[in-house]
A = this chain, B = another copy of it.
């Protein structure tokens, strides 16, 4: 019976934490649904936990996708276009600066992940990477492969043309593969041939990020 005023901090007791999680998740979902129906608002909530292998999604997967699709489209800049008073002027400058920050963060992240990629190629495993990292790494690898394929194609275009056609086909076929497919191939090759450890072996999803206060930067462009 709610005797304490709960100090807002990580609950160290495992079972208490789980109990609290269950209760609060339920309450939260209820609140979201109420907000949505009372105010006619498009909203979604996604919560995933170490306790379930599926994320909790409100209103459901498809509904959430719809909201997210719109969210994806929304650039930071789409803000105040009217710009009349001081405040909205400043807002605009902030928006512009945010955009720059985002861009710079993306660049930084790209460099970081390129470094990780080379480390991987040099034999270092993927153990220390969380899912966000893996996702970005995937992207970087994908970009590099695209670049390589592009060069293969232009190389093949100039010399005698005997082999040209198949090479081009390959290039196109590769272009159409999703990054996820590349990623999976890459992971599978690595795991089967070089025995890189990866979670429980058959489970790519890793629950429970340690840093949920997002110290790391994860810019928009990496979420294509």
Contact = CB atoms under 8 A, between A and B. Distances in A.
A172 B157 CA distance: 13
A80 B114 CA distance: 35
A62 B20 contact: no
Interface stretch (A117-125, A188-196, A216-224): A216-224
A27 B165 CA distance: 61
Interface string A176-220: 101010000000000000000000001111001100111011111
Interface in A54-97: 54-55, 57, 59-71, 73-74, 76, 78-81
B8 A34 contact: yes
Contacts of A132: 66, 69-70
Contact of A35 (B24, B46, B63, B158): B24
Q: How many copies does the complex hold?
A: 2
Given A42-B212, A79-B54, A8 B24 contact: no
Contact of A41 (B6, B212, B220, B223): B212
A65 B28 contact: no
Interface of A is mostly: helix
A9 B38 contact: yes
A32 interface: yes
A35 B39 contact: no
Nearest to A173: B150
A35 B10 CA distance: 9
Give the contact-size bracket for chain A: 35 or more
Contact of A214 (B8, B59, B131, B218): B59
A11 B38 CA distance: 6
A116 interface: no
Interface of A: 6, 8-11, 17-18, 20-21, 24-25, 27-28, 31-32, 34-49, 53-55, 57, 59-71, 73-74, 76, 78-81, 102, 105, 131-132, 135, 146, 150, 153-154, 157-158, 161, 164-165, 168-169, 171-172, 175-176, 178, 180, 202-205, 208-209, 212-214, 216-220, 222-224
